Amino acid sequence: MSLERKVEIMRKLMMIALLVSNTVFAQEVQVLSIVPRMVTVQQQQCQQVTVQQQDNSTAGTVIGGVAGGIIGNQVGRGHGREAATALGAVVGALAGNNLGGQGNGAAQSRTVCNMVPVQVQQGKLLTFMFEGRQYQIQTP
């Protein structure tokens, strides 16, 4: 039986219920269950987060690289001096970049939003017996 036919029968039953006394109607229709009809929808949920921005300044990187290169040049001898200078410059640049970025960044508050699944009730599901047959309808 199609859903349209079931809905039509239910409408007729409701009209009969209004016209006929409760005792007569109760003998013909037996309600088996009424349960909420739950559906899953996507809902946007937002929250405030604090973000600490790092200011990795170029000046800290350059100064650290130069200082590391000078110290590396002092340590090495011969051809090892070139390698020590290069290694000192790289290590100094990394250290200068990290030090240059500490404590200089500003804390900012940002709103972060995500779509999350949420279950909501959308009407009810009514199951009943009428003239020996079982029917289900959904209420809005």
Of all residues in the chain, what percent carry a pLDDT higher than 90?
18
Q: Which residues contact 129 (CB under 8 A, 6 or more apart)?
A: 29, 30, 32, 135
> How far is 59 from 96, CA to CA, in rounded Å?
8
Of all residues in the chain, what percent carry a pLDDT higher than 70?
65
Give the range with max mean pLDDT: 43-47, 78-82, 95-99, 101-105.
43-47
3 state SS of 19: helix
Residue 63: what pLDDT? 74
Residue 19: what pLDDT? 52
The predicted-structure confidence for 12-71, as pLDDT tens digits, reads as follows 777 666 555 444 545 678 889 999 999 999 999 998 888 876 655 676 777 776 776 677
Tokens for 135? 């029917």
Residue 53: what pLDDT? 66
Helices and strands (H and E) in the chain: how many: 4, 3
Is the pLDDT score of 112 beyond 70? yes
Of 44, 52, 55, give the one whose Cα is nearest residue 108: 52
